[in-house]
Chains A and B, each alone.
Chain A
Amino acid sequence: MSEGGFDAYGVDAAYDRGAAVCVIGAGMAGLLAVKNLREHGFTVDCYERETAVGGSWNWRNDRSPVYASTHLISSRPLTEFPDFPMPDDWPDYPHHSQVLGYLERYTDHFGLREHIWFGSEISRVEPTGDGRWDVIVKPVSGNAARRLRYAAVVLANGHNWDPRMPEYDGMHEFRGEIVHSSAYKEPSKVRGKRVLVVGAGNSGCDIAGEVALNAEETWHSSRRGYWFVPKYVFGKPGDQALAGLDWLPFGLRQKVSEIVLRKVVGDPARFGMKRPDFRLFGSHPIVNSHLMYHIGQGSIKPKPDIERFTEDEVVFADGTRAKPHTVIMATGYRTTFDFCDPELLGMTGPDDAPRLIAQMLSPKAQTLAVVGLVQANGSHFPLAHWQTVALAKWLRLRERDPQAARAFWAKAVPDAGRRYVHGHLNDTARHRLEVSHDVYLKALGDLIQELEGVK
């Protein structure tokens, strides 16, 4: 953590950017941070390792996880930013290229581009000891690193790019191909092949459907049962239909939603899948309409968890076997911050999961924040929007009323790591980022009003 840490980069005196704020990443969350911080009067420098905005949604980016048929799984009116609507003649579930177009429009409409340095990777973020930050910026091509000093740093580097690969016995002897879902881009690669898709998250179920239309044979392996919310319920986008029950107290809403989904979707066991072993909203439901359809046509064969691999086969927990050419692991992503001390983000526990104030502010430093680090049952866009508004209000409160800021901080630090979920959610590292959309939104609204001094 010493100043000496920078010697390795051969960069000397920091260029002092005064009261400016540094934003890392120009994906959905980073763009929001630039726009909303600027709107609150801050000078902002944003660094993006790619040469374009959009992050995950930009299929040209190396680390983009989108595949040819990726569409939003949250419906348009619930996905759009609260102060920049998507065109209302777009479909209910826009294609990934439309989402990118929307983010590009947002960038230009609000004149954000001139504040973004493209092809610039942040390789180090270190506290200077007086509440400010030294940041090392490396051009992606070339090696002339620069050191800059900022009043605050916002991490918006995303958490859908570092593949989480499970380990199975015999996996390394398997002669077929094993790839992570992030490397799966288009269905032509699986045409005429036998394919096993592993993982029943949103990506796994979605990819299984796309593969099923193209592969010779498709298996889908899942460890546990899930609740499925179809893209349409009673002729309305599923999230809108369920939002219609928001006025009910949570317990009743859960019960009614479960009944509705059991009626509309049916019994997973009838399709050869596991029943969910938890209540609805206890873990995020999967938004998918075509999995059961394909199972019903025999074009997807459901399988339980993988037990082991042999040289040419996969053996499942129920003893059955499959002989795929390709195994696609839709097993999620790790949360990785390789450019700063994990302790700053409260990643001190054995599970390596961040424990932040309001799931966004570092509990160790008042001027370090992470935005977009959530996994929600619904759109991430409005959540990240209000996070960046709250962040701007917080940084402004520190400047305007140090005493009120100290009082807020003293109260907030012990609360770090609080979960914003209904009832009891799974607390494993994998589920640590999960929030219930409505609970977290409301908490952010309250936080904003508190920071503004509204009673």
Chain B
Amino acid sequence: MTRRLDVTRGLDYRDPVPHAHREILAVLPEDPTGKPPLLFVSGDPRGARVFTEHWLPHAAHRGFPAHALSVRGQGGAAKVKGDLRAHAHDLAQAAASLATRPVLLGHGKGAAILAEGLARYPARAAVLIAPRLGRTVPPPPAGEPPILVAGDPGDKRAPQAALEKTGAHYGVAPLLFQGAGHDMMLNAAWREPLDAILDWLDKLTEEERA
């Protein structure tokens, strides 16, 4: 199933999503490296904080200005309810607020926020990690970003079938990390999947420069 390109934005015209405070946590490389900024989002109620322990510092260490977002209702963001549209709005707002075009990375239900947000912001690249899209059919992304789907085939919440379905939707083969678990950014084996994702991004950036 595909969704048509939505140019008329009916609901956003009649009833725009109101502002709500967002939380953005960041770890930046010591010296600028010219690598694109990263912006992580998850579906976890703790929000940005799930990325601050391992992933943000390691990504920064590898030269990426690393940011994580709490959308409304999560972590240190405004304690207000929001649906997928509001969360995608928060993601697009956060992405547009950075100085240069970021890579967007969504984990778990955050991948659903990302998939929706990609229609509102032309990410430099997008990574859907252990995606839990449920029954939602993602809209066509703006600006045709390179897309990576990654996860643990043994993860009960985003099982192999979900990884393959999401990959098929975007026309890519999922990258599999056996044993990484669902919350791979918090597990003991947090480093391997992140390194693989960052290697993929490094290769993209090299190709862009060439």
A interface residues (Cβ-Cβ under 8 A, vs B):
39-40, 77-78, 82-85, 87-89, 105, 108-111, 239-240, 243-244, 246-247, 382, 386, 438, 441-442, 444-445, 448-449, 454
Chain A residues lying within 8 Å of B5, measured Cβ to Cβ, are 445, 448-449, 454
Contact count A vs B, C-beta below 8 Å: 81
Which of B4, B8, B97, B99 counts the most chain A CB atoms within 10 A? Answer: B8
Q: Is chain B's binding surface mostly helix, strand, loop or mixed?
A: loop
A244–B14 touching, CB < 8 Å: yes
B100–A111 touching, CB < 8 Å: yes
Given the known interface contacts A77-B16, A108-B99, A109-B100, the answer about A83 and B121 at a Cβ–Cβ threshold of 8 Å is yes
A243–B7 touching, CB < 8 Å: no
CA distance A148 to B150 in the complex (A): 46
Contact of B101 among A109, A246, A442 (CB under 8 A): A109
1/0 per position for B143-169, CB-CB distance to A under 8 A? 110000000000000000000000000
Chosen A-B contacts, 27 in total, with CB atoms closer than 8 Å, are: A77-B12, A77-B16, A82-B7, A82-B9, A82-B120, A82-B142, A83-B121, A85-B96, A88-B17, A88-B18, A88-B19, A89-B19, A108-B99, A108-B100, A109-B96, A109-B100, A110-B101, A240-B14, A243-B10, A246-B10, A246-B13, A382-B7, A386-B7, A445-B6, A445-B7, A448-B5, A454-B4
Given the known interface contacts A88-B17, A88-B93, A110-B101, the answer about A442 and B8 at a Cβ–Cβ threshold of 8 Å is yes
CA distance A247 to B100 in the complex (A): 38
- Kindly state whether residue B122 has any CB partner on chain A within 8 Å: yes
CA distance A454 to B8 in the complex (A): 17
CA distance A78 to B14 in the complex (A): 9
Chain A residues lying within 8 Å of B142, measured Cβ to Cβ, are 82-83
A109–B8 touching, CB < 8 Å: no
Chain B residues lying within 8 Å of A442, measured Cβ to Cβ, are 7-8
Q: Which residue of B lies closest to A90 (CB)?
A: B19
CA distance A146 to B101 in the complex (A): 33
Given the known interface contacts A83-B142, A448-B5, the answer about A88 and B89 at a Cβ–Cβ threshold of 8 Å is yes
List 20 additional A-B contacts (Cβ < 8 Å) besides A40-B144, A82-B120, A87-B96.
A39-B143, A82-B7, A82-B9, A83-B120, A85-B121, A87-B93, A88-B17, A88-B18, A108-B100, A109-B100, A110-B101, A111-B101, A239-B13, A244-B14, A247-B10, A382-B7, A442-B7, A445-B7, A448-B5, A449-B4
A448–B96 touching, CB < 8 Å: no
Chain B residues lying within 8 Å of A243, measured Cβ to Cβ, are 10, 13-14
A-contacting residues, B81-101, CB 8 Å: 89, 92-93, 96-101
Given the known interface contacts A78-B13, A240-B16, the answer about A84 and B121 at a Cβ–Cβ threshold of 8 Å is yes
Closest 9 interchain pairs by CB?
A445-B7, A77-B16, A243-B13, A88-B19, A83-B142, A244-B14, A243-B14, A89-B19, A39-B143
Contact of B7 among A77, A240, A441 (CB under 8 A): A441
CA distance A296 to B98 in the complex (A): 47
Contact of B13 among A39, A87, A240 (CB under 8 A): A240
Kindly state the interface size class of chain B when it binds its partner: 20 to 34
Chain A residues lying within 8 Å of B7, measured Cβ to Cβ, are 82, 382, 386, 441-442, 444-445, 448
B98–A109 touching, CB < 8 Å: yes
CA distance A410 to B31 in the complex (A): 55
A-contacting residues, B129-145, CB 8 Å: 142-144
CA distance A382 to B122 in the complex (A): 15
Chain B residues lying within 8 Å of A454, measured Cβ to Cβ, are 2, 4-5
Shortest CB-to-CB span from B15 to chain A, Å, is 8
1/0 per position for B55-94, CB-CB distance to A under 8 A? 0000000000000000000000000000000000100110
CA distance A111 to B100 in the complex (A): 7
CA distance A319 to B4 in the complex (A): 58
A246–B144 touching, CB < 8 Å: no
Chain A residues lying within 8 Å of B122, measured Cβ to Cβ, are 39, 83
Given the known interface contacts A243-B13, A445-B5, the answer about A83 and B143 at a Cβ–Cβ threshold of 8 Å is yes
Shortest CB-to-CB span from B16 to chain A, Å, is 4
